[in-house]
Amino acid sequence: MIGVDEAYRIIQENVSALPPRTVGIKEAAGYCLAEDVVSDIDMPPYEKSAMDGYAVIAEDAVPGAELEMIENIAAGYVPTKTVRRGQVSKIMTGASVPPGADSVIKVEETEALGTGRVRLLKEVKWGANICITGEDFKACDIVLKEGKELRPQEIGVLAMVGAKRVKVFSTPRLGIISTGDELVGINKKPRAGQIRDSNSYSLYAQAVQTRAHVELLGSARDKKIEILSLLKKGLRRDIVLLTGGVSVGEYDIVVDVLQEAGVEIFFHKVALRPGKPIVFGRSKQTLVFGLPGNPVATYVNFELFVRPTIRRMMGFEDENAQRMVIKAELEVDIARKRTRREYRPACLRMDSGRFYVAPVEWHGSADLLGATRGNSLLILPEDKNPLSSGDEVDVMVTGEF
Amino acid sequence: MIGVDEAYRIIQENVSALPPRTVGIKEAAGYCLAEDVVSDIDMPPYEKSAMDGYAVIAEDAVPGAELEMIENIAAGYVPTKTVRRGQVSKIMTGASVPPGADSVIKVEETEALGTGRVRLLKEVKWGANICITGEDFKACDIVLKEGKELRPQEIGVLAMVGAKRVKVFSTPRLGIISTGDELVGINKKPRAGQIRDSNSYSLYAQAVQTRAHVELLGSARDKKIEILSLLKKGLRRDIVLLTGGVSVGEYDIVVDVLQEAGVEIFFHKVALRPGKPIVFGRSKQTLVFGLPGNPVATYVNFELFVRPTIRRMMGFEDENAQRMVIKAELEVDIARKRTRREYRPACLRMDSGRFYVAPVEWHGSADLLGATRGNSLLILPEDKNPLSSGDEVDVMVTGEF
C-alpha cells in the first residue's frame, strides 16, 4: 500500500493548470493571475505631497522664516506657479508638488499669518514629505506576475494600472456522485438500515470554498448501471468525486465501474486513517477520485488530495495549493494500535505565542459531529507510537482558529 | 487621540447581529447559524457494522471455529435472520447488525469455506467493530448550536439530520463611495495631477471576501453636494465606507458632510499608522466609516475595524470576528520616529516550527504594490522602540501564508 506522500505525488503528476479566461476586476479576487500585468503609468504619476502643508525650497525653511504663499494646490489640480526663494505654495496630501519646490513642510509645523504669508516653525530636510514620481513602479514595469494570487491588495494594483479586465486561470468544473443502497435524500426520513446522504453536501461545501464550479450529479444505488450513468455525466467535467463503494466488500463496485468506463486507475488504497480506501484515476482530462462512504474519511481525503488538485488546476503553485501544516505541542498522550499515518480531528489553540493541540472526542470515521468540535487535523506520524503529552506534532490547519 | 483598542471597543458597542434569514443547505456554508439545530434521528440510527466482515456472537469467535453463514447483509438492507450460537451473518460496512450478534469479525480475519460456512482465524472482543445506536448523537439532541460557523463539517451534519433549510444571520449590505478631485475611473488614463480610483476595488475585494453584499456607489468630487448625494444612497445600507477627504486639509470635507447628513460621529483619528485619519459614526442602523485616501491606510483600516464589524453583524463572536494575531520572531532591527502603533506589510514564514517575520520593501501608505509583497501585517507596538532582530512581535495574519 502506498503512503500519503506517494499518493499526493502521483496525483500532482496528473494535474495541470486549466486554460486562462478573462474576468472583470470585480470578479477577479481569489483567482490566480494567468498573465503578467504591465503598468501604463508611473506611480506616483507625478511628484506628490505625502502631507497637508506647504511646498517650499528647503534652504528657505528655517524656524521663524516668514514666506509668501503664492498658490493653493488641491489634489487633482495642476500647479500653475513656480515656487521661488521666499515663496511657498499651500499643498494638500496627494497633490502635485509645484515646480521650484523641493520639499513639503507639514501644516502642523507652520503658522498661517493671514495676508497671504506663513511662518515656518521648524526646518525641513531636502525632499521631505515628497513621493518621487515612479518610486512605487514605473510605466512598462511588470507590476503583477503570472501565478500571483489576486488578493485585495493585488485587485487595488490592477485598478491603479487600469487593468479592468484580466486573465486568470479557470476554476475546475467538479461533479459529485454519492453511491450506496443505504442512502436516502436529505428531505426523506431514513427507514431501518438507511442513512441520509451527507457526503454530497459536505463535499459540496468543501469544493465551493475553493471556488470550483460544483454540481451534485445525484445518488446511485449499488448497481453498476446506475453508477455508470452518473459517471458518464461526471466525465464531462474536470474532476469527478464519487463516495462510497470503494472498500473491499462485494457491493463495493465503484472500482469495477471506473475500469469499465475506461478510467485508468493509478492507485487504490493509501496507508492513511481515516480514508484508506481512496481510489484515484484519470480518463482523458478528467481526474476521478473514489472516496470512502464514511463522512470523516471523505472529508480528510478531500483536504489532503482534492483541494490541492483544484488549486493546482486554478494555477497555484504547489506550496500555495496545500493546507498549511504547523508545529504544535501535544496536550495528551496518544497510543495507537496501528502506525498508519493518521489525521485526527483536533483542537488547535494558541497561548502566549505557542500552539497547543489535542484531539477532540471522536468515535471514528463515521462521526462527523465529532469532527465539528475541531478546527484542524492532528497528524499522527507513521514512525512514532505512542506519542506523549509535550511532544511536538504536525497539525494541518483547515480553517480559522 | 484614542488608541486602536479603544476605537475597536467603540465600534463593537455599536454593532449587533443582523436579523436571521433562511437559506438552503447548499448556500449555507460560511454563515453563522441563527438557531439551534435538533436531530430527528439517532446517529448511527441502528447498530451498525464498522467493517466488512461477519456478525457473530463473541463467545463463538475462537480461532479455528467453523460457523454457518445464514444471511448476507448489505448496507441499506434490514437483516431478516437472528444469529444464534454457531452462526454468522456476512455484513458490509455501514450495514445493520442482525439481532443475536454482539460483535463483528473483520473479513481479513476469516476464511470462506464455501458451502455456506466460514472459518474464523482470530478471536473477537464483545462489541468489536459495532457502532452503537445513537453513539454520535440521539434524536432530539441539539447537534449544532446558534452562533456556530457553518463549515463543511457542519453542512454534512445538517444533511445527516435532514435540515435542508436553516436559519443563518444575514450578511450586511455595504456601500463604497470614493471621494477626491484627483480620482478618475479605472477605464480612463489619468492626466496630470490625477490617479485612478483603486480604493473602491481593493475595498470591494476585501468586503466580498467576508460575504457582504457590496455595491460600488460611485466616486464624488470634493464637493459637499456630490458626496451628500452618494452618502444618502449609502445610508440605506448597513455599512457605508467612504475613502478620502478625512484628513485635516481644507478639501477634507467628509466629516462636515457626515455631520450635515445627521451621522453621529464617535471618533475621528486613531493613534495608528497607516490609517490615522479614520472617522467612525452611525446614523440609525447604518455604521459609517470614513477611511483615508491612501490605499494601504484604507486596506489596514478595513482589516482592523471593518472586517470584524461585518463578521459581528453576521453573528460571529468577537474572537471569531477578528483576524488571527500570532507571535513571531522579528528578523531585522526596526527603529521608528514615532511610537504610534504601526501595522506594516510584512512577510511571515514558518521554519522548523517557528514563525519569523520581516517587513517588506514599502514606501509608505500610498504604496499598495509594496503591500502585495507581504502576507501579513507586522504590529509595531506603542511602547517599544527600537525593536531588534530576535524580538518576539505580534503579526496579524491577513490570508494564507
Report the distance separating Cα A284 and Cα A49, nearest Å.
58
Report the distance separating Cα B209 and Cα B200, nearest Å.
14
pLDDT digits (tens, 9 = 90+) for A156-191: 999 999 999 999 999 999 999 999 999 999 999 999
CB-CB neighbors (< 8 A) of B152 in chain A: 202-203, 205-206, 209, 299, 302
Q: Is the pLDDT confidence value at A384 over 90?
A: no
pTM for the full predicted model: 0.95
Residue type, B255: V
pLDDT at A320: 86
Residue contact B293–A94, C-beta within 8 A: yes
Q: In this structure, what CATH number is given to the domain that contains residue A30?
A: 3.90.105.10
Residue contact B205–A151, C-beta within 8 A: yes
Picking from A169, A191, A225, the residue at the C-terminal end of a domain is A169
A101 versus A51: which is more confidently predicted? A101
Burial class (CB in 10 A: 0-12, 13-18, 19+), B280: buried
Q: What is the ipTM of this complex?
A: 0.95
Residue contact B155–A181, C-beta within 8 A: no
Closest-CA distance, A208 to chain B, in angstroms, reads 9
Residues B88 and B141 in one domain: no
Q: In this structure, what CATH number is given to the domain that contains residue B382?
A: 2.40.340.10
Considering only CB atoms, A162 lies closest to which of B137, B186, B221, namely: B186
Percentage, residues of chain A above pLDDT 90: 90
Q: Helices then strands (H, E): number in chain B? A: 8, 27
Residue contact B186–A25, C-beta within 8 A: yes
Report the distance separating Cα B266 and Cα A244, nearest Å.
57
Q: In this structure, what CATH number is given to the domain that contains residue A52?
A: 2.170.190.11
Closest-CA distance, A375 to chain B, in angstroms, reads 10
Considering only CB atoms, A327 lies closest to which of B44, B157, B353, namely: B353
Residues B35 and B163 in one domain: yes
A114 versus A6: which is more confidently predicted? A6
Q: In this structure, what CATH number is given to the domain that contains residue B249?
A: 3.40.980.10
Residue contact B401–A205, C-beta within 8 A: no
pLDDT at A282: 98
Percentage, residues of chain B above pLDDT 90: 90
Q: How many cross-chain Cβ pairs, A to B, lie less than 8 Å apart?
A: 304
Residues 6+ apart with CB under 8 A from B249: A52, A92, A93, A107
Q: Is the pLDDT confidence value at A40 over 90?
A: yes
Please give the grid coordinates belonging to residue A232. 458518464
pLDDT at B252: 80
Residues A180 and A296 in one domain: yes
Residues 6+ apart with CB under 8 A from A361: A370, A373
Mean pLDDT of A57-68: 96
Among residues B6, B375, B199, B140, the alpha carbon closest in space to that of A94 is found at B199
Among residues A397, A379, A197, the alpha carbon closest in space to that of B324 is found at A397
pLDDT at A318: 87
Cα four-point dihedral sign B385, B390, B395, B400: positive
Domains in chain B, number: 4
Picking from B294, B320, B346, the residue at the C-terminal end of a domain is B320
Considering only CB atoms, B96 lies closest to which of A40, A193, A302, namely: A193
Residues B263 and B372 in one domain: no
Residues A389 and A330 in one domain: yes
Picking from B320, B350, B371, the residue at the C-terminal end of a domain is B320
pLDDT at B400: 67
Q: In which domain, by residue range, is B24 found?
A: 20-43+136-169
Closest-CA distance, B47 to chain A, in angstroms, reads 9
Residues A159 and A245 in one domain: no
Averages of pLDDT over each 10 residues, chain B, 401 residues: 97 97 97 98 94 95 95 93 97 94 95 92 95 96 97 98 98 97 95 95 97 97 96 98 85 92 97 95 97 96 98 93 94 89 95 92 93 96 92 91 62
Residues A293 and A359 in one domain: no
Residues A164 and A25 in one domain: yes
pLDDT at B84: 97
Residues B269 and B357 in one domain: no
Residues B107 and B194 in one domain: no
Report yes or no: A54 and B170 within 8 Å, Cβ to Cβ: no
Q: For residue B352, what is the nearest residue in chain A, using CA coordinates?
A: A327
Report the distance separating Cα B120 and Cα B104, nearest Å.
11
Closest-CA distance, B46 to chain A, in angstroms, reads 7
Residues B125 and B254 in one domain: no
Residue contact B76–A180, C-beta within 8 A: yes
Residues B203 and B239 in one domain: yes
pLDDT at B399: 78
